Structure 1
């Protein structure tokens, strides 16, 4: 059972007791992502995520790593377009130590200039690595086409130009704006003790919002249909196609996931069968959904030799037109439902998965459905809702990005 406790300062603690396990996962979720950055701040959310591992007033970066290695634990973090998460997984009897270290990083990171300079180079290498991987880069180019005038279209990693401007004052100013108590959720799942919950409340229930704190503002950006081609000396051509879609709170959300699975979300999907199995045009072909608080996208990706790019794109178009013209079959829908239920339940086998689910549910939805409630929603997916989505999604003009050796 999921329990939510709100501290006097507004920080929410989400806990799920799992007495049958000997591990525990804890995450600090912050409602701060790259979409809330100003243009000159692009990449700063992700850079702060890196810098919180670089040392505090009492622990060096090496000591943070050594403490987790010593107890056989794991510590990591990630930044998305809408939130940031710092998390750890440890044996249950090391839980209070893990929470104490995370809190030390969260509140007491020093942001020394020499550490900033060193980590600036590390993130710059991360940017170059992403640009060197065309299967990653094509998606960045796609989002830039979709939302050319909005932060959603800018890369989470930032750019070399914006990265060069970051200093301690900028990092602290951004944290003062976005790392406020009401924007923070502590999610913990596993073999939880009352003492641990008291420690979390003691550590995170005391800090106050800065006068600079702001509420996250959604922009509801308009989708832009267009095309970009980047010429690169690659062996393959990489194609990404995206249609505007629903937001994460839409009542059709589970229908959208099911439709994605039918079109290109797994090995039995239409795209995988047509493009790879029937025609041998690509090794990698798939689709996925991206859903944010105000907008969403349905994206298809495939890579093939430059000689077969036109044929692969034609096959993708023909597959989508077939879905528009004839819809999906009852068997496809039932299979998609069962696949969704299986992946959902099997994905909750560990404490980290429960921590992630509860953290994002509290941060985004402020609501926690039981497993049975989710399974019932999946069972309720109807052919009518699937047909509505097909009409709503696939009849619109898409955005397209291509990276390849020649136009």
Structure 2
């Protein structure tokens, strides 16, 4: 059972006791990410996350890593559009020490100028690395199309210029504003007792002054078909097709997941079958769903033979059109539901999976749905819901297409002609 506690300063804690497990996973979450940035400080959330691993008031950067990894544990961090998380997985007897380390490195990073300049070059190389990978860069181009002139359309790592210009003062000022009590969630899963974990966390976090949650610029969609066709001399042509879709917690979220499963979530999906199995046009083909607090996206991605780009795009659009116009048959619908339930169960088998699920839920909708609640909601979804939702999402004005490959002018003209529903 999920248990929650809110400290007097507004910090939210959630735990899930898994008495049969031999590890504990925990995370310290901050409700800030790329969408809280602007053109001048783009990438600052990600930069700050990197710097928190470089040493704090109590622990050097080397100690941060060695004291956890040296007892068989693992630690990591990540930055997304809406959150930053510092996490670890350890044996239960090392929970106290590890939690102290992760807490101190995230609350009290030194952000030393020498270390900052060294890490600056690491992040610049990270940006260059992903820019050199067309299967990654095509999604950056798609984000710019989906969320134009908005922080959601910016690269989470920032730009070469912003990363070169960010200072220690910038990072510490940003941290002071966003790493505050109202923005903090702490989650843990494993053989732990809720009250004991809360007491341990409160000794560190209850000292923080009360604060409100920071807000962000809402996205206001202005639908217009758009494309970005980028020339690069590659062995494959990479496609990312996106449609603005549903926010987190939307009543149709489960219906959208079923559409995703039917179209491109596994090897029995329609797109995998049509593009790879029947025609051999692609090795990588699939779909995924991105959900944010006020918006979201349904994305089709593929890497195809350079000479078969237009054929592949036609097939993709034909399958999307079929989803809009033709009812899913009952057996396919049931298979999609069963796959969804199976993946849900597998996805929460480990302590790390549960910890991440709780953190994402608490930060986005401030509540945690049980598996039983999700199953109850899923059972209410009908075949007609899928067709209705597909008609709403897969429409002409919501088309956003990014392509990277050795595109000729003829390729570009042909591609622009066939992107329609």
User: TM range, normalised to the smaller chain?
Assistant: over 0.9
In the other structure, the counterpart of 2:297 is 297
- Consecutive unaligned residues of structure 1, counting only runs of 5 or more, are none
In the other structure, the counterpart of 1:382 is 382
In the other structure, the counterpart of 1:34 is 34
Check the 8 A contact 2:183/2:213 in 1, yes or no: no
In the other structure, the counterpart of 1:128 is 128
In the other structure, the counterpart of 2:152 is 152
Deviations 1:115-149, CA, capped at 9 Å, x for gaps: 00010011111111111110000000011112221
Q: CA deviation at 1:384?
A: 2.2
Deviations 1:242-271, CA, capped at 9 Å, x for gaps: 111111121000110011110111111110
Structure 2 residue 404 is the aligned partner of structure 1 residue 403? yes
In the other structure, the counterpart of 1:219 is 218
The change in CA–CA distance for 1:200 and 1:288 in structure 2 (over 3 A counts) is: same
Please show how residues 36-115 of structure 1 align to structure 2 within 5 Å: 36-115=36-115
In the other structure, the counterpart of 1:359 is 359
Structure 2 residue 171 is the aligned partner of structure 1 residue 171? yes
What is the alpha-carbon distance in structure 2 between the residues aligned to residue 168 and residue 151 of structure 1?
A: 22
Q: CA deviation at 1:184?
A: 0.4
List structure 1 runs of 4+ shifted beyond 4 angstroms: none
Q: CA deviation at 1:358?
A: 0.9
Q: CA deviation at 1:21?
A: 1.3
Check the 8 A contact 1:146/1:224 in 2, yes or no: no
Check the 8 A contact 1:218/1:293 in 2, yes or no: no
What is the alpha-carbon distance in structure 2 between the residues aligned to residue 360 and residue 184 of structure 1?
A: 12
Q: CA deviation at 1:214?
A: 6.4
What is the alpha-carbon distance in structure 1 between the residues aligned to residue 148 and residue 362 of structure 2?
A: 30
Check the 8 A contact 2:52/2:106 in 1, yes or no: yes
Check the 8 A contact 1:3/1:14 in 2, yes or no: yes
In the other structure, the counterpart of 1:161 is 161
What is the alpha-carbon distance in structure 2 between the residues aligned to residue 5 and residue 92 of structure 1?
A: 21
What is the alpha-carbon distance in structure 2 between the residues aligned to residue 371 and residue 111 of structure 1?
A: 41
Deviates more, 1:228-237 or 1:366-375: 366-375
Please show how residues 193-342 of structure 1 align to structure 2 within 5 Å: 193=193, 194-208=195-209, 215-222=214-221, 223-342=223-342
Check the 8 A contact 1:145/1:224 in 2, yes or no: no
TM-score normalised by length of structure 2? 0.94
What is the alpha-carbon distance in structure 2 between the residues aligned to residue 261 and residue 195 of structure 1?
A: 40
What is the alpha-carbon distance in structure 1 between the residues aligned to residue 362 and residue 37 of structure 2?
A: 22
What is the alpha-carbon distance in structure 2 between the residues aligned to residue 218 and residue 332 of structure 1?
A: 40
Check the 8 A contact 1:256/1:386 in 2, yes or no: yes
What is the alpha-carbon distance in structure 2 between the residues aligned to residue 22 and residue 301 of structure 1?
A: 38
What is the alpha-carbon distance in structure 1 between the residues aligned to residue 366 and residue 337 of structure 2?
A: 25
In the other structure, the counterpart of 2:411 is none
Q: CA deviation at 1:201?
A: 1.1
Check the 8 A contact 1:146/1:225 in 2, yes or no: no
What is the alpha-carbon distance in structure 2 between the residues aligned to residue 135 and residue 153 of structure 1?
A: 17
Q: CA deviation at 1:191?
A: 1.2
Tell me, what secondary structure is at the counterpart of 1:38? coil
Query: Root-mean-square deviation (CA), in Å?
Result: 1.4
Check the 8 A contact 1:243/1:396 in 2, yes or no: no
Deviates more, 1:24-33 or 1:221-230: 221-230
TM-score normalised by length of structure 1? 0.97
Tell me, what secondary structure is at the counterpart of 2:40? helix
Deviations 1:348-404, CA, capped at 9 Å, x for gaps: 111001101111111111222222111222222211211211111112330010100
Check the 8 A contact 2:325/2:387 in 1, yes or no: no
Tell me, what secondary structure is at the counterpart of 1:58? coil
Deviations 1:133-167, CA, capped at 9 Å, x for gaps: 10000000011112221001001111110001111
Q: CA deviation at 1:101?
A: 0.3
Structure 2 residue 2 is the aligned partner of structure 1 residue 11? no
